[in-house]
């Protein structure tokens, strides 16, 4: 559970920004999106394979010299 310590002179906007940043660092939003709906194991496997292919393609991509 993320929490943010705020000082007496901190505004609500600053505290909210710090809280959102903390949530992002801990990966809470990505975890919520992952758990939003159920994926069958076969779908998970397919997504993982597609991501691996994209990553490999990105690594081997050659950029032209300028």
Section 3-30 average pLDDT:
89
pLDDT confidence of residue 3: 80
Is the per-residue pLDDT at 66 higher than 70? no
Percent of the chain's residues with pLDDT above 70:
95
Tokens describing residue 29 = 């939003």
Is the per-residue pLDDT at 36 higher than 70? yes
- Residue by residue, DSSP assigns the chain as -------TT--HHHHHHHHHHHHHHHTHHHHHHHHSS---HHHHHHHHHHHHHHHHHHHH--PPP-
């Amino acid at each position: 559970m993320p929490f943010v310590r705020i000082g007496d002179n901190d505004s609500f906007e600053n505290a909210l920004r710090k809280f959102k940043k903390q949530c992002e660092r801990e990966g809470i939003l990505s975890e919520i999106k992952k758990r939003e709906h159920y994926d069958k194991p076969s779908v998970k496997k397919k997504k993982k394979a597609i991501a691996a292919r994209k990553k490999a393609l990105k690594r081997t991509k050659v950029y032209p010299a300028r």
